[in-house]
Amino acid sequence: MLSKEENERITHVGPGTPMGEALRRYWLPALLADELPEPDCPPVRVRMLGEDLVAFRDTEGRVGLLAAHCPHRGASLFFGRNEECGLRCVYHGWKFDVAGRCLDMPNEPPESSFKDRVRQTAYPCVEAGEMIWTYMGPPAQQPPVVDLEWMRAPRGHLNVSKTYEQCNYLQALEGGVDTAHSAYLHRFFGGARANRTTERFRVNAGAPKLEVHTTDYGFSYAGLRTLPDDGGQYVRVYQFIMPAHQMRAYEGYCGRPMIQGHVWVPIDDEQTWVYNWAYVADGSALLPEEIEKEMTETGRAAADMLDGRFYPARNRANDYQLDRQAQRTLTYTGIQGVNTQDMAIQESMGAIFDRTREHLGTSDVAVIAMRHLLLDATHAVEAGREPLGVHGSADRVRPAETVLPAGAAWPEAMQADLLARW
């Protein structure tokens, strides 16, 4: 349970809010790299942490992320012309480069120095892991760019996507560090998924025991499930990387273990972008069949989306196309798509869930730990200190899952499994 004050502190993300300021101290995905497919392509709207921005790729291929409203009289630069290394406002022709410098101001006399005194808000961007990352915090505190194993996978080895979710980011993130729900929310009564070994482990084991180990980047936590017939202990270790990034191991769709994860980026207090990524754990390239199965099973295939990409066709307005007959016979929820199930239940908590009304149990210890780290980060930033993880060692870890003898200590037994391989 959080107090009303804590709940507001942890969920509000706009400029000047405690969590908004803390989130601005990390590099976060702003869009997928292929949303800006080539130099001088059309600019793209980005809304992030409650700010309206416009992203563009200039003639040299550099990515700019500017405040949306022209500093002159506020016209949106989304309508701008992307041309000759700058984005030009169509109202009066003011032109800005990726750093926010005004390159041209044709409605002012040529001798005017006005354009040197105008600077548009611009956030630095880098491309990595097929995404464009940005840093929206104070320039003096700009940390090194995030660099994780999945981001270092060669092109073609990675499957990335992005999904719209209509609620506060924290509800989504809480679902992400909550291994217990998979046995219920995602249960299938038959079919390929139900027959995977680790799915059976999770569904049959009953309540998992959770262990959280705090690190310099967030925490690792393990869901420990005792297998029947002295079969030992099924251990699934997740990585939580500050401020809103989850990594987990998965048995895979074609018999090859995979590593998957999400980054949850607040659009504003009541909307979230979910960035999804996956790769094969041994470093080999993904097969088309693996990508297709992942997208279909999670509910993120083109056919699942209103726009073919980002906006789920099964959404709040249609109760996620809940099928009560399917709920009786095929899946626990009657909702298609594993990530659509997550989204449905997270959105059902309301735009911003009131955590004064919750009742947390032993299976929620990772959720609790994650909230503590986030709240600590807000206090650190308010006190002028650096929040956790900004210089952490997340680049050296990965998640893993395995079966250990009953009673074995997972951190020691899985030490090698939990190290990044490249």
Pattern 327-366, binding to a second copy, x per CB under 8 A? Answer: x----xx-x-----x--xx--xxx--xxx-xxxxxxxx--
**Residue the block writes with tokens 């947390």:** 360
Question: Closest approach of Cβ 43 to a second copy, in Å?
Answer: 9
Asked whether the beta carbons of 360 and 368 are under 8 A apart, the reply is: yes
Establish if 196 lies at the interface with a second copy (CB under 8 A). no
- With contacts defined by CB under 8 A, name the span among 55-63, 140-148, 183-191, 247-255 that binds a second copy: 183-191
- With contacts defined by CB under 8 A, name the span among 4-12, 28-36, 326-334, 405-413 that binds a second copy: 326-334
Question: Closest approach of Cβ 293 to a second copy, in Å?
Answer: 23
Establish if 122 lies at the interface with a second copy (CB under 8 A). no
Instruction: Closer to a second copy by CB, 183 or 400: give it.
Output: 183
**Shortest CA distance to 366 belongs to which of 184, 149, 186, 173?**
173
Other CB atoms within 10 A of residue 145 CB:
13
Establish if 75 lies at the interface with a second copy (CB under 8 A). yes
Establish if 322 lies at the interface with a second copy (CB under 8 A). yes
Instruction: Closer to a second copy by CB, 117 or 155: give it.
Output: 117
Tell me how far apart the alpha carbons of residues 249 and 258 are, in angstroms, rounded to a whole number. 6
Establish if 310 lies at the interface with a second copy (CB under 8 A). no
User: Is residue 275 helix, strand or coil?
Assistant: strand
Question: Closest approach of Cβ 347 to a second copy, in Å?
Answer: 9
Tell me how far apart the alpha carbons of residues 38 and 224 are, in angstroms, rounded to a whole number. 46
How would you list the strands of the sheet with 27-32, edge to edge?
Answer: 27-32, 131-135, 125-128
Establish if 112 lies at the interface with a second copy (CB under 8 A). yes
**Shortest CA distance to 408 belongs to which of 264, 196, 251, 234?**
234
Establish if 270 lies at the interface with a second copy (CB under 8 A). no
Instruction: Closer to a second copy by CB, 264 or 277: give it.
Output: 264
In angstroms, the Cα distances linking 279 to 90, 212, 259, 342 are 42, 25, 6, 21
**Residue the block writes with tokens 């009786």:** 328
Residues 26-45 contacting a second copy, CB under 8 A:
42
Look at the alpha carbons of 356, 358, 363, 366 in this order and tell me if their dihedral is positive or negative.
Answer: negative
Residues engaged in binding a second copy (CB under 8 A): 42, 69, 71-76, 78-79, 81, 90-93, 105-110, 112, 114, 118, 174, 180-181, 183-185, 206-209, 322, 324, 327, 332-333, 335, 341, 344-345, 348-350, 353-355, 357-364, 367
